[in-house]
Amino acid sequence: MPSVTHARVSRMKGGMRRGIRFFAWAVAAGGAMASPSRAQERDTLHLADAVAAARGSNPMLRVARLRADAARARVPQMSAPPDPVVSFRLGNRPLDGFGAGERMTMNTLQVQQTLPWPGKLGLAEARAAHLAVAEELAVLDHEAALVRRVKAVYFELAFEDRALDIMRDTRDLLREFLDVSNTLYAVGAGLQNDVLQAQVAVATMTEDITAAEQARLAMAARLNALLGRGPERNVGALELPGTGEPLPGVTDLMAVATERRPALRAARERIRAAESAYETARRAIYPDLRLGADYAHRPRFADMLSFSVGVSVPLWAGSRQLPMRDEAFARQAAEEAAELELLNETWARIAEARAESDRALRLHDLYATSILPQARAAVESSLSAYRVGQVDFMTLVQSELTVHRYEIERVRLTAAYHSAVAEIEALLGGGTEVIR
Q: What is the DSSP string of 89-118?
A: EEES--TTT--S-STT-EEEEEEEEEEPPT
Distance CA 70, CA 80 (A): 17
In Å, what is the CA distance from 52 to each residue of 143, 151, 321, 394?
Answer: 11, 12, 50, 49
Distance CA 352, CA 179 (A): 48
In Å, what is the CA distance from 379 to each residue of 368, 372, 396, 428?
Answer: 16, 10, 7, 45
Q: What is the pLDDT of residue 412?
A: 95
Q: What is the pLDDT of residue 389?
A: 65
Say which residues have a Cβ less than 8 Å from residue 36's Cβ, sequence separation at least 6: none
Distance CA 45, CA 48 (A): 9
Q: What is the pLDDT of residue 175?
A: 87
Q: What 3-state DSSP class applies to 55?
A: helix
Q: What is the pLDDT of residue 401?
A: 86
The answer to whether residues 247 and 357 touch, using CB atoms and an 8 Å cutoff, is yes
Q: Which of these, 132, 122, 87, lies nearest to 107 by C-alpha position?
A: 87
Phi, psi of 247 (to 5 degrees): -80, 160
Q: What is the pLDDT of residue 34?
A: 40
Q: What is the pLDDT of residue 8?
A: 43
Superfamily of domain 2-82+119-285+320-434: Outer membrane efflux proteins (OEP) (1.20.1600.10)
Tens-level pLDDT at each residue, the chain (436 residues): 344 344 444 444 454 444 444 444 444 444 444 444 444 445 788 999 999 999 998 889 999 999 999 999 999 999 999 999 999 988 777 777 666 667 777 889 999 999 999 999 999 999 999 999 999 999 999 999 999 999 999 999 999 999 999 999 888 888 887 887 788 778 877 677 778 888 888 899 999 999 999 999 999 999 999 988 888 888 888 989 988 888 999 999 999 999 999 999 999 999 999 999 999 999 999 999 999 999 988 877 888 899 999 999 998 888 988 999 999 999 999 999 999 999 999 999 999 999 999 999 999 999 999 999 999 898 888 777 766 667 777 787 888 888 889 999 999 999 999 999 999 999 998 765 556 5
Q: Which amino acid is at 218?
A: A
**CA gyration radius, the chain:** 39
Q: What is the pLDDT of residue 382?
A: 79
β partners of residue 106: 91
Phi, psi of 297 (to 5 degrees): -95, 125
Specify the pTM: 0.79
Strands 44-45 and 237-238: parallel
Torsion of CA 21, 24, 28, 30, to 10 degrees: 90
Say which residues have a Cβ less than 8 Å from residue 214's Cβ, sequence separation at least 6: none
Strands 289-297 and 106-115: antiparallel
Q: What is the pLDDT of residue 379?
A: 81
Q: What is the pLDDT of residue 170?
A: 86
